[in-house]
Chains A and B, each alone.
Chain A
Amino acid sequence: MRIALALAALALLAFATPVLAAKTDGSPAAQFVQGLGDKALTSLTAKDLAANVRAQRVRSLLRENFDIQTIGRFVMGNGWKTATPAQKSQYMSLFEDMIVATYTKRFADYSGQSFKVTGSSAVSDSDSLVKSQILQKDGPAVMVDWRVRKKDGGMKVVDVVVENISMSLTQRDDFRTVLNDKGVDGLIEVLRQRAGKPAGK
C-alpha cells in the first residue's frame, strides 16, 4: 500500500508544472492603476493631514478615477428601476459621501503598505482586469484586482476585487436587504444616518 502511494505520488509530480511569475506589462490599464496607486500613496497617507483636507483629496481622486455613477447604480440593483429622479440624486450624493468617508478613514490608518501592479488582461471590449498586490510590512500580501473601463476617452475603475471578492457585488448584496425591507427611501435614510446627517428630505 505504502509503495503504491509512493509510486502514485511520483507519477503525479509529472503534472507539477511551476507557475511563471506574471510580467508587469505596460498596458494602459496597468499604468493607469499604478498611477492611481502612486497618487493615492503620496497625497492621502500623510499622518498630519487634517481630516477634511484628506477627505477632499479622496473625493477628487475618486471623482477623477472611479465611475461612481456606474458603481452606485450597480450597487443599488433593482432599486434603481423604481427610484424617482430626486431619490436617485439623493442616493448618489450619499453614496459618494459614504465611499469618501470610508476611504478617508482607511488612508488615515495607513501604516507603511506598498502597492504593486503585477499584470493585467482584457476581459471584454471595454474592460480590463488589473492585478495588484498590497504589501504589508507585517503580514501576507493582499490580492487586489481592479476592473478598469475605457470611458470618455480615459479610464475609470468600476470595481475593486479583494481576494476574489468583488466589493461592488458585496455591497449590492448588502444593500439589497435594506431595499427589500425598507425600500428606496429606507435605504436613503440609512445612508443619511451613516453620514451623520440629520433626517429630512
Chain B
Amino acid sequence: MNTIWAQGVSRKLMTAGLCVLLAFGSSACARSVNPETGYKTGINDPLEGMNRGIFAFNNIVDIAIIEPVAKAYNFLLPSFFRDGVQNFMHNLRSPLIVGNQLLQGDLKGAGVATARFIINTTAGIGGLVDVASAQGLPYEPEDFGQTLAVWGLGDGFYLVLPIVGPSSLRDTGGMVADGLADPVRIWAHDTDNDWIYYTRVGVEGLDTRARLVRAVEDLRANSLDYYAAVRSAYSQKRQSLIRDEKAGDSASIPDYDNN
C-alpha cells in the first residue's frame, strides 16, 4: 500500500515535469487578459485545423451513438437513480480532489472534500446520497490540470481529444496524471480487475454527457460556428474552475455609452 501510493505520486510529479517542459516548448503559455472582458484573450489554438477535424469526427460519433445513449439514459432511468450515480462517481473522486486541493494550498477546500467523503460514504450509503451538500459542504471539482494552472502554468494550447472532446495541452497532461494517481485505478489494476476502472470511466462519461444534453442541443442549434462556441465555453469553464468560481468574476461587459 505504501509503495504503490508513493509510486502514484512520483508518476504524477514526473508527468507534471513533462507538462512544464512541453508548455515551455510551446508558444504563448500565459496569455494577456483582454481589458474589455477581464477574460484571457481569444483562446490559443495553433492546431485549429487538426482540432476542427477531430471535433467534426467527435460530433459524428456523438450524434450517432453517444447522444442517443445519453438521451435513453435520461429517459429510462428516474432522476433519483441518475443522481445516485453522479453522487457515487463524485465520491470516488474524493482522494484526487483532496490531493489536488492540498497541492494548490487550499486547506479549506481539502477539508471540505475530506468531510464530504466521510459524511457521504457513511451517512450517504457508500456515496450514493449527497448528504454533505445539504450540510453546506458543496462539491468542488478539482483536477491536476487546475492544480498546474494554480501553480502558474498556462494551458499551452487548445486541444480536441478524440471522443473525450475539448481539452488543452496542460489539462490533458493533468488528466493523465490524475488517472495514474487515482486510487480506484490502482486498486483495480492491482487486483487484476481493470474492467472496473474502465467501466467507471465509461459511466462517468455517460453521466456527464447525459447532463449536457440540452446545453449541447442548444449550442449546436444556435451557434454560428459550433466549434468556436464549444471552444469558448470550455475555456470559460476551465478559467472559472481554476478560480474556484468566485462570485463577480464573470466577463465584464463594457459600458459603451459612458466610455
Contact residues of B between 130 and 175, Cβ < 8 Å to A: 135-138
Complex Cα distance, B222 from A194, in Å, reads 9
The answer to whether A14 and B223 touch across the interface, beta carbons within 8 angstroms, is: no
Contacts of A147 in B (CB 8 A): 250, 253
The answer to whether B236 and A12 touch across the interface, beta carbons within 8 angstroms, is: no
A88 on the B face (CB < 8 A): no
- Among A106, A162, A169, A178, max chain B CB count under 10 A is at A169
Q: Count how many pairs of residues, one from A and one from B, have CB atoms less than 8 Å apart in the complex.
A: 139
Question: Main secondary structure on chain A at its contact with chain B?
Answer: mixed
B28 on the A face (CB < 8 A): no
Question: Who on chain A is nearest to B135 by CB?
Answer: A18
Question: Who on chain B is nearest to A71 by CB?
Answer: B253
Contact residues of B between 230 and 259, Cβ < 8 Å to A: 231-233, 236-237, 240, 245, 247-248, 250-258
The answer to whether A170 and B229 touch across the interface, beta carbons within 8 angstroms, is: yes
Question: Main secondary structure on chain B at its contact with chain A?
Answer: helix
Query: Which of B62-70, B104-112, B196-204 faces chain A?
Result: B104-112
A126 on the B face (CB < 8 A): yes
The answer to whether B248 and A170 touch across the interface, beta carbons within 8 angstroms, is: no
Complex Cα distance, B115 from A13, in Å, reads 6
The contact string, 1 if C-beta is below 8 Å from chain B, for chain A 1-24, is 110000001001111111111000
> Contacts A12-B111, A164-B240, A169-B236 hold; do A124 and B252 have CB atoms under 8 A apart?
yes
The answer to whether B111 and A169 touch across the interface, beta carbons within 8 angstroms, is: no
B228 on the A face (CB < 8 A): yes
Q: How far is the CB of B225 from chain A (nearest CB, A)?
A: 4
Contacts of A49 in B (CB 8 A): none
The answer to whether A129 and B253 touch across the interface, beta carbons within 8 angstroms, is: no
Q: How far is the CB of B96 from chain A (nearest CB, A)?
A: 14
Contact residues of B between 207 and 234, Cβ < 8 Å to A: 211, 215, 218, 222-225, 227-229, 231-233
Q: How far is the CB of A91 from chain B (nearest CB, A)?
A: 13
Q: How far is the CB of B7 from chain A (nearest CB, A)?
A: 13
The answer, among B79, B225, B257, for a CB contact under 8 Å with A177, is B225
> Contacts A15-B107, A121-B247 hold; do A169 and B240 have CB atoms under 8 A apart?
no
The answer to whether A170 and B233 touch across the interface, beta carbons within 8 angstroms, is: yes
Q: Residues of B within 8 Å of A, CB-based: how many?
A: 52
Complex Cα distance, B236 from A169, in Å, reads 9
Contacts of B245 in A (CB 8 A): 164
B24 on the A face (CB < 8 A): no
The answer, among B42, B118, B232, B250, for a CB contact under 8 Å with A164, is B250
The answer to whether B228 and A16 touch across the interface, beta carbons within 8 angstroms, is: no
A153 on the B face (CB < 8 A): no
> Contacts A18-B136, A170-B232, A173-B228 hold; do A73 and B79 have CB atoms under 8 A apart?
no
- Among B74, B215, B245, B248, max chain A CB count under 10 A is at B248
Q: Which residues of B contact A (CB under 8 A)?
A: 1-2, 5, 36-37, 39, 42-43, 74, 79, 83, 98, 107-108, 110-112, 114-115, 118, 135-138, 211, 215, 218, 222-225, 227-229, 231-233, 236-237, 240, 245, 247-248, 250-258
**Other 19 A-B pairs with CB < 8 A, given A169-B236, A171-B223:** A1-B5, A12-B107, A13-B114, A15-B107, A16-B137, A17-B108, A70-B253, A70-B254, A121-B248, A127-B252, A129-B250, A147-B253, A158-B253, A163-B237, A164-B240, A170-B229, A171-B229, A172-B232, A173-B43
A-B contact pairs, 16 of them (CB 8 A): A1-B2, A9-B118, A12-B98, A17-B108, A17-B111, A19-B136, A70-B256, A70-B257, A73-B256, A126-B255, A151-B257, A161-B250, A170-B233, A175-B224, A176-B228, A177-B227
Q: What 7 pairs between A and B have smallest CB-CB spacing?
A: A15-B111, A18-B136, A173-B232, A16-B111, A164-B240, A16-B115, A166-B251
